[in-house]
Amino acid sequence: MMSEYPQEARYLTDDRDLKERNELVILPGGNGDWYVGVVPEGEAGIGRMVRLCTSGGASFAAPGLTVAIADAYRAILKIRCPACGEPDDGHCRCTSA
């Protein structure tokens, strides 16, 4: 089954003055599970992600966690650059900013 969520969501730390910054990465699994990690800016999450199962695991151990992750994922995807209005994960490169 294909995931209804085709892409990862990234949120760059609000600590914009740091030289080395981290990003929150949320990746939907094709089976409804979620993968969540904090990685150095622009780096891949492979091997650095935590799997949250919606059919056991996290859904039983921490009820509501996978729902909250899904909400966070959708909220991050809705972020827009205030200057150009395009989707912005903290890396907008518009010339208006």
Tens of pLDDT, residue by residue over 58-93, are 878 888 999 999 999 999 988 877 778 777 766 677
Which helix (H) or strand (E) segment holds residue 77: the answer is helix 65-77
Handedness of CA 84, 22, 75, 70 (dihedral sign): positive
With respect to residue 13, please indicate whether it lies within any of the assigned structural domains: yes
With respect to residue 87, please indicate whether it lies within any of the assigned structural domains: no
**Closest by Cα among 61, 49, 67 to 10:** 49
**Closest by Cα among 2, 42, 10 to 27:** 10
With respect to residue 25, please indicate whether it lies within any of the assigned structural domains: yes
Of 18-22, 38-42, 84-88, 91-95, the one with minimum mean pLDDT is 91-95
Q: Is the pLDDT of residue 31 over 60?
A: yes
Q: Domain containing 29: what range?
A: 9-77
Strands across the sheet containing 50-52? 9-12, 22-28, 34-40, 50-52
With respect to residue 17, please indicate whether it lies within any of the assigned structural domains: yes
SS3 74: helix
Residue 89: its pLDDT value, please? 67
Amino acid at 4: E
- Share of residues in the chain with pLDDT > 90 (%): 39
With respect to residue 37, please indicate whether it lies within any of the assigned structural domains: yes
With respect to residue 31, please indicate whether it lies within any of the assigned structural domains: yes
Q: How many domains does the chain have?
A: 1
pLDDT tier for residue 6 given thresholds of 50, 70 and 90:
low
With respect to residue 43, please indicate whether it lies within any of the assigned structural domains: yes
Residue 86: its pLDDT value, please? 75
